[in-house]
Structure 1
Amino acid sequence: MGRVGDLKVGEVLRYAAGKDQAPAMLDGYANFHHVTYSPGQKRVLLEAGINGVAQVSGADGPRRPAVLIRSSPWKAGSEQTPWHDVFDMDNGHVRYFGDHKAGLTSAPGATKGNAWLLQAFEGHQAHTPAERAVAAPLLLFRSVSVDGKPKGHVEFCGLGLIERAERLVQWSGSGHTTFVNYVYDIALLDLSAEADQVSWKWIDARRDSGATAADALGLAPTAWREWVKRGNSALPRLRRRVARARVTKMRDQRPAEGSPEAVALQAVYERFDDRKHDFEALASAVAARVLRGEGNSYVEGWLTRRSGDGGADFVGRLDVGSGLAGTSLVVLGQAKCIKPTSTVSAEEIARVVARLRRGWIGVYVTTGSYSEPAQLEMVEDQYPIVLINGMHLARELLAIARDDHAGDLGACVEHILSSQSAVITNRRPEEILLQ
């Protein structure tokens, strides 16, 4: 649960009808009106789907401190709310419908909620940091049911900004008529630097007419500050993605300077820098050890020839189960000997994945590390590939040397090369299933 004055993504808050800010907790939940309390200011409400916090006249001009959005899934498809909002929090995307409804005579953009969001959209498309600093942040919530009751509780879903606003024609539920409304594509920003929280002190500062937008910006989340500085071109790397939790930082893929792993990795790189094809034998042996590490049955196949390998450096087979209760998977391996400080890109991994057929998996072994975009793409697209970085490679080689060669890494490497030298062929990968 977030601290008082913090909104934490995924936290459910009590939104009581009395709107009293005094108790910090209500019925075991953080009190929404306590968390969003600003001394001397009007209460922030979620009575409507779109709720603009009152505009202030700051020292640098007028600004709206924030716009709060509430989606009510239990109303979706009803005559009053015939649309269905989409909250894809894992991938940082929300598709939210505006507040124009059938029967209204006003223009679609003239309703209060649409007017607030279109104003925010203008700020979110601004071209200068000064203009973006004034833009209103979106705080998104959705109603959740507690004990079977659909009202009285909301879940905080994150901090967003509008990427696109589009007019569209909607059906008006059971009326069988149509009306024009706006729909907004909203990017949720990554809040990992703030432990998935937004501090209400930032909104407080934006509500203070004596402060400039630049003054308040110092309290904003890191991703929002970066967006203000760089604009929408930075959104791809600032967007919230739960998959990032499975991404390993570059520094964590490299052994500490002077460590046994660092010494071993440098020795391997220098040994194979001008003998890249020989490195494939080493990569095949390390891949076999890794894949057998959890008790799996793995069969080493062969190394491919320098020409005509079709993008694969070695082939193996992973056996799962036995008899009728088992199956075998072709393992296609790629080896890349590069400087330990170098990285493998998403494009390089994608080339290996493009070679995989149904029932095949890939293994990529390198003396370097994998870029964060490469890992993110692998996780999000669910690539069936195992990534072995330089530190992992060094650890496995040191373990083999310790177990079989009295700790002599050089002897270990030479033994691997001599045992693999005779199994270089142009055979098709699927032939491994017949062995």
Structure 2
Amino acid sequence: MDPRRLMMLDTYRYPKGASPVAVMIDGYPNYHHVMAAPGRDWPMVMLEAGINPVRMVRAPDEVRRPVIAIRSSPWKAGQASNPWHDEFDLDHGHVRYYGDHKPSTNARVGTTVGNQALLEAWRHHAGTSAYERSLAPPLLVFRSTTVRRGGQRIVKGHVEFCGVAVIERLEHIVQRDPESGQSFPNLVLDLAVLDLADTGDTLDPRWIDDRRDEQLTTEQTQSRAPESWQRWVREGRAAIPRVRRRVVSSRVRTTAEQLPEPGSAEYEALRRIHAFFDHRKHAFELLASRVAAQLLGGSGAVYRDGWLTRAGGDGGMDFVGRLDVGSPASNTPLVVLGQAKCVQLGRSISPDEVARVVARLRRGWIGVFVTTGTFSKQAQVEVIDDQYPLVLVNGRVLVEQVLRMAAADHDGDLDALLRSVDAGYPDAVTHRRPEEILGA
């Protein structure tokens, strides 16, 4: 690995007064080497305090703060020097971080060095224009970590890199000192840790070097910034769900895994399904509803067919069904809302398209999204992480189910099945409220 790379969740040696020349110290990458800009005599980006703002630079276009490095010390939590507990959920890109006001601070909130820097940064992080956000100092997040060396437990002198973050929310709160019981005001920040997948979960410190270079305009410093940061600068708060770091579950499928192998009989069958319904997209909804019935009914529950919604203005709902879970003598009915998208095989369904279906679901309802294409990685992650009651049926699953239906009812004749679906479409359409299925 490039010694001047910060790798997510890697441990770095942080000895006081260490030279930035050494690449490794005691078997760990030297933090001071990673953060030292070659050929520059700039002050080091230190981590002595919890909040470490790097001094402002006067660039050709604007005065900017290059970066704020923050460090959490879990082993100090509950002590007088750190009476609060920062919260880290890096798998979901979230850190809740408390400011540096203490019970002994005899001043208003925002006058301490760290809190003052965070308040100044918040004005840019909450900016309503791309230019304002470009001036926002990125937050480099570290936390102290304990290591074992020579058979001994070493508490101090090592930090773990926890990512680059933007301030999602800042609040004024009142805390209570666990030792004295004294209450005191402070700041608390919700930080969105950004996705660094495009750079292999690493951060290039040369981006920070560029932000510290007073010869470069703010726009010129963006070239080495992570793509997630650049997107946040362009789009603002709306981009945070898309750029937040998330550890991808094993349930997320790649594009290749969501489609039959090109050249296979299944791929040709899926291509024929798309070609048949490409100009009959509403009729595809009936095929999707039958696929949903076969999938959900095969789980051991009883699926009851409902109806298709009228074309146009469905708002994320193409078909309605019912799933009876339990035994015949003791069961509960669930409303099933379905969305169908007949798209090109290479097209992926976006998170926004999935969200429209989820928005229609009420408590106790489930959704099914059927497509000839695939679902984007982000769409899948959001369904999994947010635990949406939504079944995603991609092109591979669709064609497998359709071929089974053709084999069972049409002697394997796919075209006969498709013609049958098309002919049955008009009679399947009605205008009823979804909850009426519960009384059917």
Q: TM-score, normalised by structure 1?
A: 0.77
Alpha-carbon spacing, 1:269–1:251, altered in 2? closer, same or farther (3 Å): farther
Q: 1:7 to 1:172 in 2, by over 3 A?
A: same
Cα deviation for residue 151 of structure 1 reads 1.5
* Counterpart in the other structure of 2:313: none
Aligned mate of 2:306, from 301, 304, 307: 304
Residue in 2 aligned with 1:345? 354
Matched, 1:16 2:7: no
Question: What is the match of residue 95 of structure 2?
Answer: 94
Give 1:94 deviation, angstroms: 1.8
- Structure 1 residues 109-258: aligned runs within 5 Å: 109-147=110-148, 148-243=153-248
**Could you list the per-position Cα deviations for residues 69-97 of structure 1 after superposition, in whole angstroms to 9, with x for gaps in the alignment?**
00011111112211111122223222211
Structure 2 CA distance, aligned partners of 1:384 and 1:183? 33
- Count of paired positions: 408
Indicate the residue corresponding to 1:260 in structure 2.
Answer: 268
Equivalent AA in structure 1 for residue 21 of structure 2: A
Task: Indicate if the aligned counterparts of 2:147 and 2:155 stay in contact, CA closer than 8 A.
Answer: yes
Q: 1:5 to 1:257 in 2, by over 3 A?
A: same
Distance 1:278 1:236 in 2: 33
Q: CA deviation at 1:140?
A: 0.4
Contact 2:13 2:28 in 1 (8 A): yes
- The secondary structure found in structure 2 opposite 1:183 is strand
Distance 1:332 1:260, change over 3 A: farther
CA contact (8 A) 2:277 2:284 kept: no
CA distance in 1, matches of 2:205, 2:176: 38
Residue 112 of structure 1 deviates from its aligned partner by 1.2
* Amino acid aligned to 1:14: R
For residues 6 and 127 of structure 2, the distance between their equivalents in structure 1, rounded to whole angstroms, comes to: 26
Q: Which amino acid aligns with 1:8?
A: M
Query: How many angstroms does 1:235 deviate by?
Result: 2.5
Q: Quick one: structure 1 residues 373 and 204, their matched pair in 2 at CA, closer, same or farther if it must change by over 3 Å? A: closer
Q: Find the residue that maps to 1:260 and give its secondary structure.
A: helix
Letter in 2 for 1:112: V
In structure 2, runs of 5+ residues without a counterpart are: 310-316, 423-435
Letter in 2 for 1:260: E
Q: Which moved more, 1:400-409 or 1:165-174?
A: 400-409
Q: Could you tell me how far apart the structure 1 residues matched to 2:420 and 2:231 are?
A: 52
Moved more, 184-193 or 248-257: 248-257
> Aligned partners of 1:349 and 1:168: how far apart in 2?
34
Q: Which amino acid aligns with 1:90?
A: D
Query: After alignment, is 180-189 or 68-77 more displaced?
Result: 180-189
- Give 1:388's aligned residue: 393
Structure 1 pair 363–145 and aligned structure 2 pair: CA distance change class (3 A): same
CA distance in 1, matches of 2:279, 2:133: 52
2:277 is the counterpart of 1:269: yes
Q: Distance in 2 between matches of 1:179 and 1:205?
A: 38
**Alignment RMSD, CA only?**
4.2
8 Å contact kept, 1:265–1:391: no
Go from structure 1 to structure 2 and tell me whether the alpha carbon gap of 1:174 and 1:390 turns closer, same or farther (over 3 Å shift).
Answer: same
Return the letter of the residue paired with 1:348. V
Change (3 A) 1:105 1:135: same
